[in-house]
């Protein structure tokens, strides 16, 4: 026989299929309250309390925001497989953070774009083409110019981005700071 909390977890799993739900420890002060672990993605989790088979409205709003973000990211990454797209659904809309999708390597920053941008898919298609090229042997992605360039043009790394020699010449202060920092 299922408890009210177990029934609620089954209901939530059907509403939010991108997440995995696990009931955890009971809260000592209240015997009908448990910690609910919601596995979001990439090792991130959300831990609201579930009491008498219900989550409070703030926890449900959090689940809705996480699910919105995850759904958009998954759909867009299917369309643009060389891009890693993280989305944030907030009160001001949906903002996408885009990176080169590198398997087992650090990702290079590409840029940010609002999902309501009229040229959203045109921009993502351009970034996809450049990302595909940058992932080839002998190429890298210049986060300043937002294009793939031959490795012979590589100059420096700064804040999750690789930059070419021309960018370094155009932005000497950024280059100086980047070269003075040790990321090891």
Number of structural domains found in the chain: 2
In this predicted structure, what is the pLDDT of residue 129? Answer: 97
Tell me, yes or no, whether 175 lies in a domain: yes
Q: For residue 128, give the H/E element and its range.
A: helix 120-134
Tell me, yes or no, whether 73 lies in a domain: no
pLDDT mean by block of 10 residues, the chain; 184 residues = 82 85 77 80 77 83 83 92 89 87 76 92 96 94 93 87 92 88 61
Range of the domain at 170: 136-184
Listed residues 12, 30, 55: the one ending a domain: 55
Residue 175: CA count within 13 A, CB half-sphere: 14
Tell me, yes or no, whether 39 lies in a domain: yes
Listed residues 55, 75, 91: the one ending a domain: 55
In this predicted structure, what is the pLDDT of residue 71? Answer: 86
Residue pair 120/75 in contact (Cβ under 8 Å)? The answer is no
Query: Tokens 């867009």 — which residue?
Result: 76
pTM for the whole thing? Answer: 0.74
Tell me, yes or no, whether 67 lies in a domain: no
Please provide residue 74's backbone torsions phi and psi, each rounded to the nearest 5 degrees. Answer: -60, -45
């Amino acid at each position: 026989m299922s408890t009210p909390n177990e029934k609620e977890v089954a209901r939530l799993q059907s509403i939010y299929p991108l997440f995995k739900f696990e009931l955890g420890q009971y809260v000592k002060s209240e015997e009908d309250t448990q910690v609910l672990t919601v596995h979001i993605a990439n090792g991130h989790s959300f831990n609201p309390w579930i009491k008498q088979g219900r989550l409070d409205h703030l926890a449900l709003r959090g689940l809705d925001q996480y699910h919105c973000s995850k759904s958009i990211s998954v759909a867009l990454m299917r369309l643009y497989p060389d891009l890693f797209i993280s989305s944030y659904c907030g009160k001001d809309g949906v903002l996408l953070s885009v990176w080169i999708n590198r398997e087992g390597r650090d990702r290079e920053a590409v840029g940010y774009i609002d999902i309501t941008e009229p040229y959203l898919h045109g921009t993502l298609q351009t970034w996809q083409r450049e990302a595909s090229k940058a992932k080839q042997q002998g190429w890298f992605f210049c986060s300043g110019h937002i294009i793939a360039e031959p490795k012979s043009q590589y100059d420096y790394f700064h804040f999750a981005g690789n930059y070419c020699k021309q960018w370094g010449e155009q932005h000497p202060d950024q280059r100086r700071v980047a070269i003075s920092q040790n990321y090891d």
